Amino acid sequence: MAKLNYLIKRFLNMDHKEMFRRINRIHKKTGKSRLAIFNDMRECAVRYGAGYSDYDLFEMYNLNDEQRNTYITRGRNDDLVKKYNDKQYMQYLDNKVEFNQRYGDFLKREWIKVDGVNKEDVISFIERHDVFMAKPINGQCGKGIEKIKVNDYESSQALYEYLINKDFLLEELIIQHDEVNKVYPGSINTVRVVTILKDGNPNIICAYFRIGNGKFVDNFNSGGMMSPVDIETGIVKHAAIDKMKNLYVTHPQTGYPIKGFKFPDWQQALEMCKKASHIMPEVGYVGWDVGFSNKGPLLVEANEYPGHDIYQLPEHTPDKKGVWPLFNI
């Protein structure tokens, strides 16, 4: 009954215009009738927890039932969050100040919150850093982040007055590892490492390289691209893909190879994520965004609600098998 109520609520609240737009697109692509596509979408929602976006993104219309059952969907992802993450603690990953305080040992960079109490400390931070990152304290998906150049402002006071109205947290610029920088120097290119803490044991589930493309953020939903990384070797397994489903064997800005790229200090990065998993065991299902510097791996941020949309795109699953079995630990 609970599942049925959830599905009814989802259907009532969904963007029906967008759903039918996708049905029309699939109809044109496959020649299947719109009614048949709608009924199949409904079946996938009931059986696998897949919304219309999952159905379209993972091209479930090209999969049989056995293949569909290997995909992690929005519904299944929601179930993982409910199972492993305590709502009372999830806010501490979402809030960047709380996160930096709790996971400070893994940051390897200076940071400070901007508020009216610590003005002198903020001014001092500004005067020590020619360039730094300003992040909305509760921002997500890379939205609202600014790369601040101090010389663009009249004075430290003028810059402070700009920042104080933005509810920002300031962070020292991460100097990216020389090897990762070769791929794309315009952003900090991170690896999303997904872990599940079960019975006190941190399990590495999967990992994905997230790469900037023309912007200073690497987020997939903000113009970036991504590709799966082999957990054992730290080697990028496929060509990267962006949200428009363009494929990139090499980076379009630098020409540097993406497929086959091997991360430095890979085992160190995985061990860091395992250690971080124990800091707040009340949130056991986490997507860690790992940066690579010449000082070693570091945490950029963590996600208490890891997105599932990048895990199993058709271009990365030629065998038509998703990653859901990896989560059944």
**pLDDT, tens digit, 9 for 90 and up, residues 65-121:** 999 999 999 999 999 999 999 999 999 998 999 999 999 999 999 999 998 778 999
pLDDT for res 253:
93
153 has pLDDT over 80: yes
Does 59 or 215 have the greater pLDDT score? Answer: 59
Tell me the H-state helices in the chain.
Answer: 2-13, 16-30, 34-48, 52-57, 65-68, 74-84, 87-94, 96-102, 119-128, 156-164, 178-183, 266-277, 324-327
Q: Residue 15: CB partners within 8 Å, gap ≥ 6?
A: none
Region 259-273: what's the mean pLDDT? 98
Q: How confident is the model at residue 5 (pLDDT cuts 50, 70, 90)?
A: low
How far apart are the C-alpha atoms of 25 and 284, rounded to whole Å?
38
C-alpha neighbours within 13 Å on the C-beta side of residue 265: 20
**pLDDT-above-70 percentage for the chain:** 92
Give the pair of three-digit tokens for residue 44: 């996938």
Rounded average pLDDT over 38-62? 96
Tell me which residue has tokens 């993104």. Answer: 57
What pLDDT was estimated at residue 310?
Answer: 87
Question: What tens digit of pLDDT does each residue of 157-202 get?
Answer: 999 999 988 888 999 999 999 999 999 999 999 999 999 999 999 9
CA separation (Å) from 76 to 57, 80, 81, 310? 16, 6, 9, 14
Q: Specify whether the CB–CB gap between 243 and 220 falls below 8 A.
A: yes
pTM of the predicted structure, to 2 decimals: 0.89
**Tokens matching residue 227:** 């590709």
Average pLDDT over residues 259-279: 98
- The 3-state DSSP class for residue 49 equals coil
3-state helix, strand, coil in the chain (%, to 5): 40, 20, 35
pLDDT at position 218 is 66
Residue whose tokens read 């990896």: 326
Q: How confident is the model at residue 11 (pLDDT cuts 50, 70, 90)?
A: low
> To the nearest whole percent, how much of the chain has pLDDT over 90?
81
Helix (DSSP H) and strand (DSSP E) numbers for the chain = 13, 11
